[in-house]
Structure formats: C-alpha cells, structure tokens
Chain A
Amino acid sequence: MRTLTRAAVTATGLAAALILAACGSSGTSGSSSGSAGSSGSAGSSGSAGSSGSAGSSGSAVSAGSGSSAGSGASSGSGASGAPVTLKIATNAIVGGKNDQEASWLTKYVIPNFEKAEKAKGVNVTVTFQASGVDDEQYKAKLALDLKGGGGPDVFGIDGIWVGEFAQAGYIKPLQDVVGDSYKDWDGWSQISDAVQGNASFDGKLYGIPVGTDGRVLFYNKKLFAQAGLPADWQPKSWDDILSTAKTLKQKLPDVTPLQINAGTAMGEATTAQGFLPLLAGTGVSLYDNGKWQGNSKQIRDVLSFYNTIYNTDGLGDKNYQLDAKGRDESFADFAAGKVAILAESDYLWRSVVDPKVGIDPIKDKVGTVGYTLIPAEKPGSGIRGQDFVSVSGGSIYTLNPKSANAKLAFDLMAFTQSPDAIKARLAGAAQITERSDVNGEVLSGDPMLTFVSQKVLPLTTYRPSLAVYPQVSLALQQASADVVSGTSVADAAADYQKAMVKLVGADNVISN
C-alpha cells in the first residue's frame, strides 16, 4: 500500500513537470481552449474588428500548400496538370465571425478560381481553413503555424502585424516570394499609396491590402429622441460628449450612456477605438519622429477622461471593459438599445448591426443608428490642429514564403481582390475597399460608408507600422484597465511610462 502510494505520487510529480514543460514551450492547448471559450459567447465575432480593420481584419487567407504536408507532396510542378493544393486561411467562419467573408471564400472565390485555373490547364484544389476567434488568438495560432514551417499558403493578417511578422521572417516581401511578376497585377494602380502603406514594412510590399475603415461615434437615435436630444448630434469637444451622456443618464437611467473601449480584454479594440482616437484629440501622435508618448500630459488627459467616464461620473459600464467577452456584450446591448453611444469603426455598421449579415442585427438600421465624427478634446486641439479626429486600419492578404506554389498562391490572392470578386464579396452591401475603381460603385448606395470615405478618411490617423507597436498597444490597454479598475491616473501613467522605457528605451519616450 505504502509503496504504491509513493509510486503514484512520484509519477504525478513527473507528469506535472512534463505538462509544465510542454506548457512553456508551446501552449497550443491553451489557445485551442481559449477559442472554445470564445465560441461559447454568442457574439464571439465581434472581436474581429479589433484591429481596426474591422471585418476584414481578421481574415487571413492562406492558400498554402507549403503548410500542409499532404498538399506539398501532391503539388509537384503544378502547371503540367498534376493536381496542386492551396490552403487559404482567415479569421472567418461560416455562421460565425465574419460570416460574409467565409461564405464568399467558400462559395465564390474557391470554385471560381479553380474553374479559371482549370481553363488554363492547372488542376488546383483550394481549401479554406476557417477560424472564428479573437484576433489575438488567431494571430498566436498563425504565428505558431508559421514558426513551425507550416501554415496556409495565403492568409489574412491585420495591417499592424506586418512589421512583427516580417521581422520574425514569417512573411517576406512579394518581390522575394514571387519575383518581379507581382508587379504585373493590374490592381496596384487602383490602390492609393496610403492604403498600400498598410501592407508595407520598411518600404517593401508584403501583400495586398483588403479595404480600410474609419472610426466614428455611433449613437442610438431612438434613445436620443426619448431623452430629448437631437437626431443629428455632433459633439464639438470631450465635454460635449460628457454632457450628452449625463443627460442620457438622467433621462434614461436603465441605459448605459457611453461605451468607449478600455481594458486589456478587448485587445487592440481598446487601442484603436478608444485610446488612440482620444489621444489624437489631444493633439499628439503616439509615435512621432522616433519618440513615443510616455507619461505625458496628453496621455494623462486621455486617462483622466476614462476616469471621468467610468469612475467619477459613472457614465459607462465597467463590466464591458473588464469582462472577457465585454466587447461582444457591448455590441449586443447596443443593438438591444441598452447602450446609447458607442465608439467603433464602420465594422459595427457593416457586420454587427446590419439587418442581413450582422451578428446583432437592428432591423431599422438606418433609422436607428446615427454616426458622427469623434471630436478633439477641445475645438482645434486635435492632431494637425483639427477639430475632429479618427483612426484607420485595415487588414491585408499575404503569402506564406514557404509555399511550394508561391506564384499560384499569388494568383489566388490577386483573384480575391479583382473587381468582380470584391463586388461578389460585398453582394450589394457596401464596404470601403482598397480599390478606387470599385469604391465609387459600391459606396454610392450607403450613406454611412460614403460619410467615412469622404469625411473621416481625410482627417484620420494610422497606427505606426513598427514591430514594437503591438506591445506598446498592450501597455496602453493596461493603463486604461488600471484606471477603470480604480488606480489613480498618476499611478497608471507612471506604470505605463515604466513599461514604455522597457520596450523602447528611456531616450525614446516623451514624458512631461
């Protein structure tokens, strides 16, 4: 009995050690379980937009034969009629997150691309690798796949990940992957330099940008009418936002007046939808001329604004910021008329509250959802002296440099961004695409997206495409989380400063 017990004990100790070691080196089990969790909550999809680029952001298209061992074996030369397999991956899944993109890939892109290639004598089979998880989880999974020498052939990533993926060697400039022939694609001339910048790092192009977006304040016009507020609301300063929110709180006590993303649980959605538009409203850029904002007056102004919303004046609901699924809940509650004002990119309009494809549809979207520019802290105090500010992003499709059929993978990627394919994807719905020839046609029917392309994009800002940016973003999220949880603004800003010094060095951080 006694020996038995001891043997069992020793065995467990060893097993524990093994589990730990495995945990340290891969942790994949963690990621998979994470996604299980996320799928549990209805609106898991919402998280996609984090990156700014909303719906498209999550998507990774990976047509990689390189990735899958099986396909690699069968691919061979490709052109001679021997069967070739390509794998395309995005953070989209039929019936869930970014459903529209997933359906389009499986029902339009894959069959039509296969048909077109067959006509040219190439026997290609394309498979779609779906995901429906938070962007950060998708990113970790993709990075692990690519690190292991696998991964899809074509995949979608957020534009802000290009730097870190490029530095890690997970993606390479198109020039290196497919050679000069990439320049022959006729789509390049339709994509502006600013948008191409989203797919570039160190001046080199890594993929094709897939649309862009802009951030605004959305508000529920019906709630505004109930509170006696104007239907064409346009706040001119942060104080205007606060006073409107106070009116809402007074007149409609059951409604959460204001939702401006904060905290780490929302990931990049906190930085892109909350912190950075506010920071732009104080007149500075997070990164400028080699220097990052540290414990500066502007950063403290933003944190104080958060403090006013979530602590002093109680105009927002802390639960959304702290809960693991808070963003999805805030979307669902906005759609249900329980949140009055919400800062978000046009992703909300296209993919969340849309009556046809949205995850939290609002039947009378146009009559219910209002949108307005995000004001600077005070009129004229915004970046470049602007009265109103915004932040933009966008995702890109890129290639796996280890793909065994890189040229064919490029053709697939270019095929997805042909005018016909883009129009098929939108299927009558509108989205700001990367192509100027398509935009004029698809945006004309949608007032909100026309508003974004005409009023928001001219005054917008982009996030620095540097490899360290995602870590800086995490530090900003942490600072906002601290303030929402009750840490003083001064302490949160001091901790942020410490984190920044560690990330980029004391010489490159501005504090005052």
Chain B
Amino acid sequence: MASVATDAAGLGRARAGGFVAPALVLIALFLVFPALWTIYLGMTDYRLTGLAASAPSFVGTENYTDALSDRHFTSSLWLTLEYVLGSAIIGQSILGFALAWMMRKTRAAVRGIVETLVLIAWLMPSSVVSFLWLAMLDRSGGTLNTLLHTPGFNWLIEHPMLSIIIFNTWRGTAFSMMLFSAALQSVPPSQLESAKMAGANGAQQFRDVVFPHIRGHVLTNTLLISLWTFNDFSPYLLTAGGPNHASEILPVFIYNSALYGGELGYGAAISLIMLVINLIIALVYLALLRQRGPGRPTRRERRVGEAALEVAA
C-alpha cells in the first residue's frame, strides 16, 4: 500500500528522478543559484568600478549593519510600506472591488468600455505609461495643471509619494477588478435576495453574504498585488526616487545604490532583505488562507444561511 501511494506510476526512484531532473536543474540554475549568489555578493564590498570591482573583499555583515544605520535605507523601507499600503492594499483593492461591484448590473456595453479602459492601463508597457504621466503632470503645460488652473505646480516634487501611489493605483486596478468580478459571480443571488428580504441593508449584505464568499479571493488578491507592488520599479520612470530620495522605494533604492552609485555589494544585501520581506509577506498570507479557507462556514455565515432557509420556507 505504501508503495502504491509513493510510486503510483511504477517508475522507480531513479527513473522518476530522471523525469524531475530538468525541472530541478532549471530551478537550481535560475532560482537557487542567483539567490545564493546574491547572498554571497551581499557579504562583499563588490563595486561596479574601482579596485573593489576587480578584487572584492569579504566584509561579513557590514553591509547589513550599514543598511540599518543608513537613513536613506530606513526611510526607503517606510516609503515602500506607504507605497504598498496606499497603492495596492487601499488603492487597487478598493477601487478594483468598487468597479467590479458597480459593473455587476450595468449594461454590457458600459461594462465593456469601462473594463477595456481599465485593462489598457494595465497592459501598456511601463515606459509608455510613464511618459504619458510625465506629460500629464508636467509643470509647464501639463494636462493636470491646465485642468486645475495651477500653472507651474510641480506634482512630482510637491507630492512625489502621492503621485506615484495614484499612478500605480490607476495602473494596477485592472487585476483586482477582474479577480473580484469573477469572485462576485460566485455569490449565489438567492442568498442575496434572501438577505434583502430579511431586511439586511447594503453594508450588512456585504458583510454577511458577499464577503464570506469572496474572502479567499480577497486574500489572494491582496497577496499578489502587495508582492507585485513591493517589487515595482516603474515609479523610477516618473521620479527616479527624487526629489532628494523622497519617493525612493526599495527597488529604486537598490538600483540607485547598486548601479547609479556603483555599490553592487550593498545593493545585493538590500535585495536579500527584500527577498526575506517578500517571503514573510507570502508566509503570513498563506497561513491566513489556510486558517480561514472557504468551505468551513463561520458562525455568521451559518446564521445567514439559516435565515435564508427560514425565509425560503
């Protein structure tokens, strides 16, 4: 019985290993090796140019201790948090859900137009999109300043974080919208009707009927977009991290210190820190998903279900 369970195909250990090997080699080559290499680089003073480029020396954890005392790194960490919270968790999720919710009952033509527009923002290449935004936010002659009658107002200097947060919300909402649209279709209309008849208002319907059905999707969506946003480099195209580091989120910080400043070792150390943060985010979400996955109704869900049955009866 044990042999059936572990070797259903009857290949044997060696042949099974042969089949898996190409995949393992690819993973090792493109995933494990770069990660280990990053760890190694992060413990050297490797630079893009100069003596340390030809003969880097081992510095142990110095890059990490330097990072902790580097005011630009700590501020960059906060900015990244702000960026993820603002543009992904609040901006994209809420706007995406709102769009999905509103589009449920609109006419197909309207829905088609709205969805296409939102999707285009998502599908266009970053370089193109950022150029459009630069033109829109331009200090002299930009569209926004013309509309608001605020000539000469430099949005990217006065409100750099707000600008890139709105930029990324605009750009990435399509994913949340599509995911929530699909999720909302899984909410049985009968339950909503029942709740309505039982006198539940909009907020109550959402909390007790809709949300329990889409909780898994909310978590998945939050996880994906926070990871993407956390690693997003496109704000560089708008502000290059400026003014004076005020919008320097971590990926931009790494680019600026590793390539612009030439400190490859330091950049690698920060990359590893980012990698660890990514893993932590992923693990937390996975734990949440496992703990409260769909299928096991909560007490409130049961109550709603019972109420619906009563009404139906």
User: Which A residues lie at the B interface, using CB under 8 A?
Assistant: 1-2, 5-6, 8-10, 12-14, 16-25, 27, 29-31, 33-34, 36-37, 40-41, 136-137, 139-140, 143-144, 147, 161, 163-165, 167-170, 263-265, 318-319, 321-324, 329, 467-468, 470-471, 474, 481-482, 484-485
Q: Is B108 an interface residue (CB 8 A)?
A: no
B54 touches A168 (CB 8 A): yes
Task: Report which residue of A12, A20, A168, A321 has the largest number of chain B beta carbons within 10 angstroms of its beta carbon.
Answer: A20
Q: Is the CB of B261 within 8 A of A474?
A: yes
Q: Does B202 contact A (CB under 8 A)?
A: no
User: Roughly how many angstroms separate A264 CA and B252 CA in the complex, as a whole number?
Assistant: 14
Interface size class for chain B? 35 or more
Contact of B289 among A9, A147, A163 (CB under 8 A): A9
B50 contacts A467, C-beta separation under 8 Å: yes
Q: What 0/1 readout, one digit per residue, does chain B (25-40) give for beta carbons within 8 Å of chain A? A: 0000011001101100
The verdict on A168 contacting B154 (CB below 8 Å), with A12-B224, A140-B48 known, is no
B73-129 contacts to A (CB < 8 Å): 126-127
- Are B34 and A27 in contact (CB-based, < 8 A)? no
Q: Are B157 and A319 in contact (CB under 8 A)?
A: yes
User: Which residue of chain A lies nearest to B259 when distances are taken between CB atoms in the complex?
Assistant: A140
15 contacts between A and B (CB under 8 A): A9-B224, A16-B230, A17-B35, A20-B274, A25-B37, A27-B258, A30-B233, A33-B126, A34-B255, A37-B127, A41-B134, A165-B49, A264-B244, A319-B157, A329-B139
Q: How far is the CA of A18 from the CA of B38 in the complex (A)?
A: 11
B residues neighboring A (CB under 8 Å): 30-31, 34-35, 37-38, 41-42, 47-51, 53-54, 126-127, 130-131, 134, 139, 154, 156-157, 216, 220, 223-224, 227, 230-231, 233-234, 236-240, 242-244, 246, 251, 254-255, 258-262, 267-268, 270-272, 274-275, 278-279, 282, 285-286, 289, 293-295
Residue of chain A at shortest CB distance from B254: A23
- B283 to chain A: closest residue by CB: A13
Are A8 and B220 within 8 A (Cβ)?
Answer: yes
CA distance A24 to B294 in the complex (A): 38
The answer to whether A484 and B244 touch (CB under 8 A), given A12-B227, A140-B259, A319-B139, is yes
Q: Which chain A residues border B126 with CB–CB below 8 Å?
A: 33
Q: What residue of chain B has the Cβ atom nearest to residue A20's Cβ?
A: B275
Q: Which residues of A contact B53 (CB under 8 A)?
A: 143, 147, 164, 167-170
* B279 proximity list for chain A (CB < 8 A): 13, 17
Q: Is the CB of A24 within 8 A of B268?
A: yes
Q: Is the CB of A21 within 8 A of B244?
A: no
Q: A27-B254, A482-B244 are in contact. Are A9 and B236 (CB under 8 A)?
A: no
Which 5 residue pairs across A and B have the least CB separation, nearest first?
A: A322-B243, A24-B271, A168-B53, A21-B34, A164-B49
Q: How far does the alpha carbon of A319 sit from the alpha carbon of B153 in the complex, in Å?
A: 10
Q: Contacts A319-B154, A481-B244 given: A17-B259 contact, CB under 8 Å? A: no
Chain A residue at smallest Cβ distance from B255 = A30
- In the assembled complex, which residues on chain A have CB atoms less than 8 Å from the CB atom of B238? 37, 324
Q: How far is the CB of B52 from chain A (nearest CB, A)?
A: 8
Given contacts A12-B223, A18-B31, contact A6 B286 (CB under 8 A): yes
Contact A21 B275 (CB under 8 A): yes
Contact of A30 among B223, B259, B282 (CB under 8 A): B259
CB distance from B49 to the nearest CB of A (A): 4
A31 touches B236 (CB 8 A): no
